[in-house]
Structures are given as structure tokens and as C-alpha cells.
Amino acid sequence: MHECALRNKPFDSPHLTQQSTPSLSTPTPRRWLILLAMTGSLSMIFVDITVTAVAGPAISNDFHIDANGANWIANAYLIALAALMAIGGRVGDMMGKRSAFTTGVILFAAASALCAIADSFQFLLVGRVLQGVGAALMQPASASIVIDSFAPGERGKAMGIYIGIPMTFFALGPVIGGLVTEHLGWRYVFSINLPIALAALLLTLYARPANQKNADRSFDILSALLLVVGLPLFIVALQDGSHPDADGAQRIFSLPYIIALLGGVALCGVFVRRQFRLARPLIALSLFHDRALLADALLIGIMQFAMAGIIVEGSIYAQDVLHFTPSQAGASLMPMLVPVIFLAQVAGRQYDRRGVRPLARIGTPLATMGFVVWSAGCVFEQYPVIAVGMVFLGAGVAFIMSPANTDALSRAPDNMRGQVSGVMQTFRQVGGAVGVAFAACIVEVVRATGQPLSVAIGAAMLGGACVAAMGCVVALKMPSREMVKLSPTPLR
């Protein structure tokens, strides 16, 4: 019992205006229906990150765009998520988590319909951005709703389901995209969201999870603008600047892209400085004085950075190097899925017993090894080797993502859970968006030196291994559960 109280202490800060409420300990009667609705919605969000990876070539053919343009089908969605997730978490605290969730579901469904009927590439990108806006409202609210609906002793198990099943769909995205594209056409890739959104909406309206609101309704518009402009500017410059033209790889060093990169970094820097100076910031960065929370956020961001670009490039590799059909390309990623399915629940139960640190110390080396093996398989064009790397990566991810997310949300006071959820998902989506751009940058720069696509994508995989290795360092420096109770100190 004293653990819950001590977990809330790191959030005390002069920069925060709290209206503390005791942690919810009584489970909601319809909590399993609520979990079903929240898990379905998150699956829809996650599958839309990767489902277009295999559909990309078909969309490119219809709209006559190049490979770099095709990357923006995924990146437009990821950038919107990354830029708006923290704002979505804050809005959820203000308007109520259930209200934010249902609004997000409706917007996401409408945007999916727009994508399905798009008659131009630009129109499709608008739909993808609007999908990101809807998802940015849904995702922080849904995670908070799950934590609020379950007693502390059930949260690890519930969050294992909530994260594990969507991670399965994240990996299944290329499979689903390949089958749907091959047999029905790429437009149905977006249409399949409509019945899922309807089911999630109806279940939520029936189960009626708590609609808790934060009494603090402050919202710093300037901070929101800095984040919404600065982060996309940085990512756009990174991805588009890496696409070679007549000057080959030198384009990444051209003045317009350097200005855009530096401008994005500067705006994000101003945003960070402003958060520390405001009495009621949009994102309470003083949260990261809590060493354990900072480690959770870094693990989530690092792993999503490493994975997102690899899923996209791995699907391209399967079709363009191994000459798989779209459905075969999707199925080729299945070895990564199996460990996630079987180990996510194990990780959730182990989190309830042991905390996040021992799981992270298992997961990060497994993921790093997976990227290295996958890279070797790409260079030598050996799918069996690639499949072994996928198994290691899937196992590592299962031990990292759900426990880290559960730990962060369980530590937060009830009235700040939406904001904390938004922060964690911002780390995830920023990592994913930058990861897609980073992987594309490596591929384009290596290709510009005359290397074949297999070597270029292998280099991107090795880049993922380097990023995942940073997660090993974070896991080694994480405090134990006992240390968190006694001394929440900054991570150095």
C-alpha cells in the first residue's frame, strides 16, 4: 500500500498545479468490456502505422510517385501523432478521458473514409494527417482509461493485453496490407478501420468508463504551436533532405535542409525552455526529475525509433530484393509476431511481480541482437537468417514496451494520468516518426554511393541495432523497484 503513495511523490513540483486524488483501487465492473474497446482502438492505431508499408508500391503506381513520396504515406500519420500526442493527452484531462476517446474514434473513422476515397496523393496525405489527429486524442485517453478501470494488482495483466495485442497488429500490419492490397485493392486498407471504430465506439458507450476531468483547464497555445511546427519541420527536413537528386547524397547537406533542420531543433528547444518556465506548462517536463519515469520514456522512444523504420524498409526489402508478392512480403514479417503474442502476457505478469528493470535488461539485448542478425540476413539476402533476427527482436519488444508503459502510468496520480500518457506516447511517436525518416535517410545515402538496395537496407538495420544498444544502457541505469520507493532521483 505504501508503494502507491511513494510512487506519486516524484510528481511533486513547483511547476505543477495538482489536485491530487487517491489512486483508484476498486475495479470497474465492466472493465473487461472497456479493455476490449481500448485494445481494439489501439490495434487500429498501431496497424495503420505499418499497414501501408506493403500497400505503398500500389499507391505509388496509382498516383505516380517515387519511393521517397511513398514513405510519406506512413510518415504523414506518424508526424501528426508525434506532434499532437502530448496535446491530445492534455485535452483528454481537460474534457474527460471518455469524451476525448469517443471524439478521437469518430474523427479517426472519418479520416479513414477520406483516405479510402482519395483521388490524389495530396488528398490521401490530408486524410493520413487527420487520422493522426484522431489517434492523438484516442491513444492517451485509452491508456488512462485502462489504468483507471483496473485495480493495481490487475494492471500488469490488463496492460499486457492492451499493449500486446496491438503490438501483434503492428507486426501484422504488412500481412493485412499485403492480403487486402493484393485481393481487394489498397483503398480497402483504410476502409477496414470503419467497422473496428464503430465496435470500439459502441462498446465504450455501453460500458461507460469514468469520464474524470482535471480541474486545471489551462492550455498554453504558444507551446502547442511551437511543438506542432518545430517537430514536423525537423522530421520533414530529415526525410526529404535525405532523398538524392542529381547531386546524390550531397543533397542532405544543402542549405535549405540545414536551415529546416536547425529551425525545427530551435523551435523544439524554445518549447522545452518554455515548459520549464511556465507555472502550468503544456507538458510538465519536471516529471522527468523522476528517474524511473525518464527511463520508461527513453526505453519506449528508443525502441519505437529502432522498429518503425525497420518495418517499412523490411517490407520494401521483401518485395524489391526477395521479389515477394505483397501478401508474401507481409507474411515474411510473421516471425517477429510470434514472440510478441506469447510473451506479452508473460511480461505483464512478471511486471506485477518484479517491476520493469529486470524485464528491460532481458529485452534490450534481445532486440539489439535481433537487429544485428536481421542486418546480416539483408546483406547476404538470406531470409532464414532474417527470420531468426525477427524472432529475437519480437522477444525483446515484448519484454520492453508493455512493462515500461504500465510502469509510467501506474506511477502517475489519477488527475495527471492523461498528461503522462500523452508524454509517453509522444516519446513513442516521436521515436517512430524520426525512426522512419532516419532509416530512409540511411538507405538513400548508401544507395547514392552505388551500393545495392540489399546492402542499403542492411545498413539501416544496423543503424537500428545501434539505437537499440542505447536502450541497453538505459536498462542498466534504471533504478530497482526498491530504489524507486526510497529515492526518486534524476537519471544521469
Mean pLDDT per 10-residue run, the chain (492 residues)? 42 41 59 93 88 82 80 83 84 88 96 94 94 93 88 82 81 80 89 94 92 76 92 78 49 73 92 88 80 90 86 85 82 82 83 88 96 96 95 92 86 75 80 80 87 94 93 90 47 40
Determine the pLDDT at residue 243: 52
374 in Cβ contact with 390 (< 8 Å) = yes
Rounded to the nearest 5°, which phi and psi values hold at 245? -120, -140
Determine the pLDDT at residue 239: 64
Domain ranges of the chain: 28-219+282-486
Q: Nearest to residue 432, comparing CAs of 408, 473, 401?
A: 401
Give the per-residue SS3 of 121-133: HHHHHHHHHHHHH
Q: How many CA atoms lie within 13 A of 181 on its CB side?
A: 25
Please report, as a single letter, which amino acid is at residue 3: E
Please report, as a single letter, which amino acid is at residue 13: S
What span, in angstroms and rounded, lies between the C-alpha atoms of 85 and 342?
29
Residues 6+ positions from 277 with CB-CB distance below 8 Å: none
Q: Nearest to residue 425, comparing CAs of 119, 122, 49, 69?
A: 49
Residues 6+ positions from 262 with CB-CB distance below 8 Å: none
Determine the pLDDT at residue 385: 96
Determine the pLDDT at residue 248: 44
What span, in angstroms and rounded, lies between the C-alpha atoms of 351 and 344?
10
What span, in angstroms and rounded, lies between the C-alpha atoms of 194 and 108?
9
What span, in angstroms and rounded, lies between the C-alpha atoms of 194 and 199?
9
Determine the pLDDT at residue 482: 52
What span, in angstroms and rounded, lies between the C-alpha atoms of 275 and 281?
5
Determine the pLDDT at residue 104: 96
85 in Cβ contact with 431 (< 8 Å) = no
Determine the pLDDT at residue 416: 74
Residue with cell 541497453: 472
385 in Cβ contact with 376 (< 8 Å) = yes
Q: Which CATH superfamily is domain 28-219+282-486 in?
A: MFS general substrate transporter like domains (1.20.1250.20)
Determine the pLDDT at residue 142: 92
> Model's pTM, two decimal places?
0.76
Residues 6+ positions from 305 with CB-CB distance below 8 Å: 431, 432, 434, 435, 438, 467
DSSP H stretches of helix in 150-290: 152-183, 188-191, 193-207, 221-241, 255-277
What span, in angstroms and rounded, lies between the C-alpha atoms of 1 and 91?
31
